Structures are given as structure tokens and as C-alpha cells.
Amino acid sequence: MTDLATHQAALAGHLERHRAEGIQNLIGGQTVPAASRQTFATTSPVDESHIADVARSGAEDIDDAASAAKAAFRDWAAWDGAKRKAVLHKVADAIAARADEIALCECWDTGQAWRFMSKAALRGAENFRFFADMAPSARDGQTLPSPNHLNVTGRVPIGPVGVITPWNTPFMLSTWKIAPALAAGCTVVHKPAEFSPLTARLLSEICHAAGLPDGVLNLVNGFGEEAGKALTEHPDIKAIAFVGESRTGSMIMKLGADTLKRVHFELGGKNPVVVFDDADLERALDAAIFMIYSLNGERCTSSSRLLLHETIADDFEARLIERVNRIKVGHPLDPATEVGPLIHQTHFDKVTSYFDRARAEGATIAAGGTRVGDQGCFVAPTLFTGATNDMAIAQEEIFGPVLTTIRFKDEEEALRIANDVAYGLTGYLWTNDLTRALRFSDALEAGMIWVNSENVRHLPTPFGGMKASGIGRDGGDWSFEFYMEQKNIAFATGAHRIPKLGA
Ligand code: NAD
């Protein structure tokens, strides 16, 4: 039986170590401070209390980590796939064994509610298991005979890679990137978000203790403009897997241009959930609420725009208002809490600025629109109604527990509104008309579409976005396409004649 007090007591034990030791880097298997000895503080969004001092790393630390990753690469890439599989399964076992500790630290560091983080930590273990099982076949290819050659294709790991992650569900997202990179045979330099360094430290410790050789996974903490920039520009880092804001992705693309960096981007979203009048409205309501108010709305795949057919809109909104007003905002470690505090004050200011914006644009704040309490970054789950698609609340990624409803009169208008944004990550359709579902899905500009469902991640399927939402796909073999180079070796058969020059 878990409750807030039990969680708080357990967390206190875990935090003591982070506070006493600080959050250092892990480079070449050694725990080290930043070369400059500088640190910055990470604080909790629950009460703004100090959690720990974190290494404020720069170009020198990144250079050390890239050298360690480069030195470890040849050996690691040459490991037999079955051996790599075994060590990655050990990592998964250790994550599962420490899942509660990971979840508690994540809740405190990010403000995410326990009910979701306890599952997210275990999903991190699943990510490792899934890619561990793929490690033995990562290099597989084909034979493609041509008239005078036998072509043998195969894949080789690209080299040391950089993984730059954001603060929303940081543990789960980091495993999603790091597990396939390691399974492919790459070595990694991980730069986690400055606002949520705790669980990146736990992950690097776990990997090290599970038997990953020194230098295979390196952790460098710090700010994006310092450590993140240096990682992106480093000539020994062959690729950058980045999850974060679209404008940061654009910056990373520029910074990586001189070294011809391969990039994989998972960026922002302004995802539509489209409810037609023939849908199962009860299920649609549950899914729409879950997809925007779970994880504090700080999720790239959130259904932040609700497009309602005009004949069902009044009733649907009335039921929505009732439910939104009942969502439990509270301490993230309380198992009853559904929405916790936003990650930090600047993000809180950004999210709450849309309350005035909505009023100024002529929308209605039908629920929420206020802060909760007078300490920490808590906001009330908020619903804007009466919006049109040209409003900022319909176009911009707010990244909080804030939903905007827009009405449509027919399928054509719904599609036009759904596609009329810069982003193209996910879409959610609610209809019992199969032909319409297929037609609409085909025309919807989004990398991932769910019909009559909330977002359910299935690891073998491709995950990623179109337009300003990203470049590349994760999941299954798509992950290996990014972390590996395809290679073709052509063997000439006896019949092959070489053109003679100067004969
Ligand atoms: P962010 O872009 O501010 O930061 C992400 C990471 O990039 C951090 O580690 C940061 O330090 C680093 N960074 C910042 N500037 C950099 C620079 N110049 N060079 C190199 N690195 C730099 O994003 P955030 O606010 O931490 O995260 C929220 C964003 O992430 C949202 O837009 C959300 O939609 C997006 N996201 C997308 C997905 C997806 O799968 N598409 C998943 C999760 C989050």
C-alpha cells in the first residue's frame, strides 16, 4: 500500500545521496565534476526547494566524453550481438528493480504524477528489453545478385552518437534513444535536460553497474547552449538524436552543419483529436481527457486541439467541463494526484500567459484558467472553448494541461482545420465509419494516427512526426536505420569483364 507519506519517506532517503554528492558527469566510466568545477542548482517544481548541485559542463567535458566514446567504440561495435543482448537485458532488470526509486526521483524533479511515472520507469526497462532482443540481428542484410556480381548488404554502427533529451518524462525518453543506439553497437554521449538531471544519473549508474564497458555510455550534464552546443558541434560525434522543441531542432541542424551531422528529431506537436457525430462519445471523451491532462499535458503527443462536429459539440463540451473540473491537482507523490506542478517557473509563466491570450483572442475559458495554491508551479486543468483555428491557442504548442476546442461542420472542414498548423506529429480520430476513418487518416498530415483510441505505443511501429514535428522515425528497425550505416559489398563473379584502358 503506497501513500503520500510513504513516498515522501522513501524519496528523502534517495535525495540525501544526490544532495550530498551532487550530480556529476560519468565519462569513460569515471564519475567526475565539470572541468570548470562549476555547478548549477536543480530545484523541485513542487515547492521550489533545492534538490542538488549539478555539473555545469562545457566544451572541455564534451571533448573528454567524445574521446571516451570514440575510444570505446571499436570494441563495443565488435561485441557479439548475443553478448550485447545479455548486458542490455541486465540493464532492463536493474531498471525494473529500481523502478520505484526512479519514479520517485522523476516525480520530485519534474512534477509528474506518481500514477504515470511508476509506469514510465517500467517502460524504460521494456525499451531496453525490446532493443536487447534486436541486437543480435542489427547487422543483418541481404544478398542481391546482379548479372556479374554478388552484392552483400549489411549494416554497421555509425560511431559515437550524441543523445540530447528534454525534461518531459526524461527517463523513459532517454531509454527510448539510448537503448537502440547501444543495441546497434554505437557508443553514446548523453546530455539530459538541465531541469531534470536526476534520473539520467540513475540510468548511467545502472548501465555501468550492469557491465557496460567504460566509455560506452557517457553522461554530461549542463545547459543546451553550452554542453548541448559543444556536443552537436563535436567532430567525433557522428549523429545527434534530439528530442525537444522545434526551434531547438532547427538550431541543432545549423550547429551540426559544419561536421555534416546526421540528425534525428522528435519535436513539438499541436495534435488534433477529431470527434465525428457517429463516434462512441463516452470513449472519445475519456481518451480526449486522458491525452491532454495526463502527464500534466507536458507531452509531445498530447491531443491539445479538440475538433468537435457541431451537432455534438454543446453536449460534449458540457460533459468535458464537468470532468475537467474534477481532475485532481496535487502533490506528484500522492497516488491520487492526476495533475502535478509544471516543470519550472518559466514554463509555468508561459502556460499561464495563454489564459490572457485566450481572453484577448475572444475564446472562452470554460474551466480552469487559474493557478492552484500559492507555492509551486501548479495550474488548474484548463479548457478553452469557442476558439477558431487562427488563434494562438489553436496554433502554438502550450505544453500544459490546456485544451482548446474548435467546432467543424463537415469532414472537409475538419480536415482543413486539422492540417492547418505547423506541426504534424499525431492525430486521433473518433468515428465508426471505417471508410471515413481510412480517407481521413490518409489525408491527415501526421506521422502517427490512432482511430478510436488514445495513444498506445507499440515499440515495433514507427514513431515520429511530419512537418515541424520531426525528422526520422524511432521504433523497431527504424531506430537502427538512424544509428547504423548501410553497407554494400559487391563480389565480382568470374564472368565479369573489366573495361581495359590503354591496352
Ligand atoms: P528544449 O528544446 O528546450 O530542450 C531539449 C534539450 O535540448 C535539452 O537537453 C536542452 O538543454 C537542449 N538544448 C537546448 N538548446 C540547445 C542547443 N542550442 N544545442 C544543443 N542542445 C540544446 O525542449 P524542452 O523544453 O526540454 O522539451 C519540451 C519540448 O520537447 C516540447 O516542444 C515537446 O513537444 C518536445 N518533445 C517532443 C517529443 C517527440 O517525440 N516528438 C517527445 C518529448 C518532447
pLDDT digits (tens, 9 = 90+) for 150-188: 999 999 999 999 999 999 999 999 999 999 999 999 999
* CATH number of the structural domain spanning residue 425: 3.40.309.10
Residues 206, 78, single domain; the answer is yes
Residues 85, 140, single domain; the answer is yes
Dihedral sign computed on CA atoms, order 175, 181, 186, 189 = negative
266 in contact with ligand 1, CB cutoff 6 A: yes
Is 498 within the bounds of a domain?
A: no
Q: CA nearest 42: which of 12, 60, 7, 15?
A: 15
Residues 216, 313, single domain; the answer is no
Quick: pLDDT tens for 228-275. 999 999 999 999 999 999 999 999 999 999 999 999 999 999 999 999
Q: 43 pLDDT exceeds 70?
A: yes
Q: What pLDDT, on the 0 to 100 scale, is given for residue 463?
A: 98
Is 496 within the bounds of a domain?
A: no
Q: CA nearest 152: which of 484, 495, 493?
A: 493
Catalytic positions, please? 266, 300
Unique residue bearing C-alpha cell 481510412: 438
Residues 315, 368, single domain; the answer is yes
> Atom of ligand 1 at shortest distance to CA of 167?
26
Specify the 3-state DSSP secondary structure of 79.
coil
Q: How many angstroms is it from 166 CA to the middle of ligand 1?
A: 4
Is 456 within the bounds of a domain?
A: no
225 in contact with ligand 1, CB cutoff 6 A: yes
> Atom of ligand 1 at shortest distance to CA of 248?
2
User: pTM here?
Assistant: 0.97
Q: CA nearest 231: which of 63, 70, 69, 68?
A: 63
Range of the domain at 75: 4-267+469-488
170 in contact with ligand 1, CB cutoff 6 A: no
Residues 243, 300, single domain; the answer is no
Residues 63, 184, single domain; the answer is yes
> Atom of ligand 1 at shortest distance to CA of 255?
19
Q: Which three cell numbers stand for residue 283?
A: 470513449
191 in contact with ligand 1, CB cutoff 6 A: yes
Is 495 within the bounds of a domain?
A: no
| Ligand 1 pocket test target in 168, 172, 421 with most atoms within 8 Å of CB | 168
* CATH number of the structural domain spanning residue 124: 3.40.605.10
Residues in a beta bridge with 253: none
Q: Which strand (E) or helix (H) includes residue 325?
A: helix 313-326
Give Cα 61 to chain centroid, integer Å: 25
| Cβ proximity of 489 and 152 under 8 Å | yes
Q: How many domains, in total, are found in the chain?
A: 2
166 in contact with ligand 1, CB cutoff 6 A: yes
pLDDT-derived band of residue 62, with 50, 70 and 90 as boundaries?
very high
Residues 281, 390, single domain; the answer is yes
3-class SS shares of the chain: helix, strand, coil, % to 5: 45, 20, 35
Is 335 within the bounds of a domain?
A: yes
Is 406 within the bounds of a domain?
A: yes
Quick: pLDDT tens for 185-229. 999 999 999 999 999 999 999 999 999 999 999 999 999 999 999
Residues 284, 166, single domain; the answer is no
Residues 45, 141, single domain; the answer is yes
The protein residue whose alpha carbon is closest to atom 20 in ligand 1 is 228
| Ligand 1 pocket test target in 54, 109, 164, 194 with most atoms within 8 Å of CB | 164
Is 359 within the bounds of a domain?
A: yes
- Locate all alpha helices (DSSP H) within 170-280, ordered by sequence: 170-184, 198-210, 229-233, 246-255
pLDDT-derived band of residue 495, with 50, 70 and 90 as boundaries?
confident
Unique residue bearing C-alpha cell 509544471: 342
Residues in a beta bridge with 189: 162, 218
The protein residue whose alpha carbon is closest to atom 1 in ligand 1 is 244
Mean pLDDT, residues 382-404: 98
The protein residue whose alpha carbon is closest to atom 23 in ligand 1 is 244
Give the Cα separation of 186 and 179 in Å (integer). Answer: 10
Q: How many angstroms is it from 320 CA to the middle of ligand 1?
A: 31
- Cα 355–360–365 angle (5° rounding)? 45
Q: How many angstroms is it from 28 CA to the middle of ligand 1?
A: 25
Quick: pLDDT tens for 323-353. 999 999 999 999 999 999 999 999 999 999 9
Q: How many angstroms is it from 364 CA to the middle of ligand 1?
A: 30
Mean pLDDT, residues 48-73: 98
**Cβ count within 10 A of residue 259:** 15
Q: What pLDDT, on the 0 to 100 scale, is given for residue 494?
A: 80
Specify the 3-state DSSP secondary structure of 26.
strand
> Atom of ligand 1 at shortest distance to CA of 223?
11
Residue type, 292: I
440 in contact with ligand 1, CB cutoff 6 A: no
Give the Cα separation of 320 and 248 in Å (integer). Answer: 34
Give the Cα separation of 420 and 274 in Å (integer). Answer: 14
What is the β-pairing status of strands 402-408 and 423-424?
unpaired
pLDDT-derived band of residue 1, with 50, 70 and 90 as boundaries?
low
Q: DSSP assignment, residue 266?
A: E
pLDDT-derived band of residue 362, with 50, 70 and 90 as boundaries?
very high
| 59-to-22, 62, 190, 222, 438 alpha-carbon distances in Å | 20, 5, 14, 10, 50
Give the Cα separation of 125 and 188 in Å (integer). Answer: 18
Q: 392 pLDDT exceeds 80?
A: yes
Mean pLDDT, residues 291-301: 97
Residues 392, 435, single domain; the answer is yes
Residues 225, 360, single domain; the answer is no
Averaged pLDDT score across all residues of the chain: 97
Residues 165, 260, single domain; the answer is yes
Is 499 within the bounds of a domain?
A: no
